[in-house]
Chain A
């Protein structure tokens, strides 16, 4: 009996050891393999991985068409697109960094680019792009969002910005012209608010989306993300006035940008602030809705915020191939088709001047607005700064504190972030 139990015990012990042994063997395997492929001549295919967060089958197919198109031209390099949900994306990257299990290329939200560069995630490709003539074609805002401390760590994939959508019929009925200034906006929003219909809708949750939507208002006052006080207070004050007037719903702090679009599509909003990527969905959900697009009303100057994604090249063994890929994506033909399929705005001037964007009455506004669009940051601490900004917005819109207090508190937080580098 005793002996049997001892035997069983030792068996279990051996098994556990064997299991852990297996585990470490398995872990060692891929590194061996990658070493092999690194040293092997070009006859074997090089395999790269691309991470992205665009949701849905059609989006996946569009990304797949990019990687397939590239492999057709470069048969010895294969790129595998991998979908990671947006909510998990940052987490997967930082966990991957700690575990050194990372892709070769990522498509990343442009304000996060600097933060991850500071983390040491991206490769410095300044030299590899030095004699690449296409780089001068890029708009300044998008291009800068992929750089950090004067070095380049990727290139823009595509851009967008925010503008004001308005329901043409509602404005005509209320005899209101699309507002251009804040004063006009406040009057117009009040006149357009009737019954279930609110004058204006924005998206203001306490996260990056809220900051994104707030920046056009903030930047319009002449304030910048690091100097909110004193000018930025006016932006918070104006938006909270709209809530006090009843021209904007208090629910905006829970609305995502697609919620705002749905409210606009179902006729609950006379005006909304949103991006060009909503146009395909909007025309599909509400085909009879006639809408116009204008710049976001201004305080002292027209301003917008730059949205969009960058292609980041990750540090690792495959930097050269990754650069080859991003250059391929950047070629005018590829980038034009991709931007059209994707509802993007091209980040290149030569492609943006294509009649597809410059002649279309709706897209034209977004095209012109590109000159007003400023990037978020870039700053390695952008996520923390952004949190301070969206928190101030939440406080002002829920009328928890006065706009002055919200702005002062946010400024204090931002100063602290910027001071301890």
Chain B
């Protein structure tokens, strides 16, 4: 009796949150899936007779080749950013973990790029990398290049620029999470390893990395999700150009829905994004469970 009561109370406790989730998370997701299976565009948005087309929207995007292209772009962008952010973030975390004077203050300074609104960072990079911008000026003064590079005009360098911008933003986030991870590693392990004659490199690979593993796992998964849905940065720096070379899934979905009024195709792209991130999320939960069982 009391057990049942307790169970009811438990359900009642989660009810408000559940209702919230159903209305503000569940409904949009379901409706977005519905939207992607119909043909909804500018001509019939309010007129009611929207025909069911099944997977046609997905097939059409696939046939056009744009879906693969933006998916590739997004993956290249996400993975490059993750790798760079992680390596640099780890370096910073270990550096500031050395407890030298003003380490705290310097760590605070690194946080600045995390605190700036993404739009401001984006505008800054756009100016710096324009053909008459400070980067070209600098490289030319150093005699590294003889004529200005068109950073944002050719496809490879445009992608490079947005990866650089996003890495700059992401470093502090990686640094903080890894710093937190580092503080959980007891100092005496290092001491005894040093006494046993382990070199610094060996200590890093045999102690630091394995013990940081839980922090690294969650960092990479969160970073993947966060980077995968990049939007404002790309929209401002390149707006997907030149010729879709930096078009991401998010910017393309936006462009289809709100510039071209192809609501169904926009929804289809968002759903592909949703499924991919869902898979990543499930993998993350699996890993977390395994970690706990150990």
Q: A interface vs B, CB < 8 Å?
A: 2, 5-6, 9-10, 12-13, 16, 90-91, 94, 97-98, 115-116, 118-120, 205-207, 249-251, 253-254, 380-381, 383-384, 387, 391, 394-395, 398, 400, 421
Of the residues B2, B9, B153, B255, contact of A253 by C-beta under 8 Å: B153
Chain A proximity mask over B229-257: 1 for CB below 8 Å, otherwise 0: 00000000011111110000000000100
Q: Which residues of B contact A120 (CB under 8 A)?
A: 45-47
A/B interface sample: 17 pairs, CB < 8 A? A6-B5, A12-B13, A13-B16, A90-B259, A98-B46, A119-B43, A119-B45, A205-B239, A253-B153, A253-B242, A254-B130, A254-B153, A254-B241, A381-B42, A381-B43, A384-B262, A391-B243
> A383 touching B9 by the CB < 8 A rule?
no
Of the residues B9, B16, B238, B259, contact of A387 by C-beta under 8 Å: B259
- Asked if B260 is at the interface (CB within 8 A of a chain A CB), the reply is yes
> A398 touching B243 by the CB < 8 A rule?
yes
Q: How far apart sit A394 and B244, CA to CA, in the bound complex (Å)?
A: 10
Q: Which residues of A contact B153 (CB under 8 A)?
A: 250-251, 253-254, 398
Q: Which residues of A contact B19 (CB under 8 A)?
A: 16
Of the residues B5, B260, B262, contact of A2 by C-beta under 8 Å: B5
- Asked if B154 is at the interface (CB within 8 A of a chain A CB), the reply is yes
Q: Which residues of A contact B27 (CB under 8 A)?
A: none
| Given A206-B240, A254-B241: 9 more A-B contacts, CB < 8 Å | A5-B9, A6-B12, A119-B42, A119-B46, A206-B239, A250-B150, A250-B154, A391-B244, A421-B43
> B16 touching A12 by the CB < 8 A rule?
yes
> B46 touching A97 by the CB < 8 A rule?
yes
List the 7 closest A-B pairs by CB distance, nearest first. A9-B12, A91-B258, A120-B46, A250-B153, A384-B260, A398-B242, A383-B260
- Asked if B261 is at the interface (CB within 8 A of a chain A CB), the reply is yes
- Asked if B6 is at the interface (CB within 8 A of a chain A CB), the reply is yes
- Asked if B32 is at the interface (CB within 8 A of a chain A CB), the reply is no
Of the residues A16, A97, A253, contact of B241 by C-beta under 8 Å: A253
Q: How far apart sit A391 and B260, CA to CA, in the bound complex (Å)?
A: 13
> B131 touching A118 by the CB < 8 A rule?
no
- Number of interface residues, chain B, beta carbon within 8 A: 35
> B150 touching A394 by the CB < 8 A rule?
no
Known: A12-B16, A400-B242. A98 touches B45 (CB 8 A): yes
Q: How far apart sit A254 and B130, CA to CA, in the bound complex (Å)?
A: 9
Nearest-Cβ distance from residue A356 to partner chain B, whole angstroms = 36
> A2 touching B2 by the CB < 8 A rule?
yes
- Asked if B272 is at the interface (CB within 8 A of a chain A CB), the reply is no
Q: How far apart sit A120 and B261, CA to CA, in the bound complex (Å)?
A: 14
Chain A proximity mask over B266-294: 1 for CB below 8 Å, otherwise 0: 00000000000000000000000000000
Q: Which residue of A lies closest to B46 (CB)?
A: A120
Q: How far apart sit A265 and B267, CA to CA, in the bound complex (Å)?
A: 43
Q: Which residue of B lies closest to A98 (CB)?
A: B45
Q: Which residues of A contact B260 (CB under 8 A)?
A: 383-384, 387
Q: How far apart sit A205 and B259, CA to CA, in the bound complex (Å)?
A: 14
Q: How far apart sit A381 and B259, CA to CA, in the bound complex (Å)?
A: 11
Q: Which residue of B lies closest to A100 (CB)?
A: B46
Q: How far apart sit A98 and B241, CA to CA, in the bound complex (Å)?
A: 30
Q: Which residue of A lies closest to B16 (CB)?
A: A16
- Asked if B152 is at the interface (CB within 8 A of a chain A CB), the reply is yes
Q: Which residues of A contact B12 (CB under 8 A)?
A: 6, 9-10, 12-13
Q: Which residues of B contact A250 (CB under 8 A)?
A: 131, 150, 153-154
Q: How far apart sit A118 and B241, CA to CA, in the bound complex (Å)?
A: 29
> B258 touching A251 by the CB < 8 A rule?
no
Q: Which residues of A contact B5 (CB under 8 A)?
A: 2, 6
- Asked if B15 is at the interface (CB within 8 A of a chain A CB), the reply is yes
Of the residues B43, B152, B239, contact of A207 by C-beta under 8 Å: B239
Nearest-Cβ distance from residue B65 to partner chain A, whole angstroms = 11
Q: Which residues of B contact A421 (CB under 8 A)?
A: 43
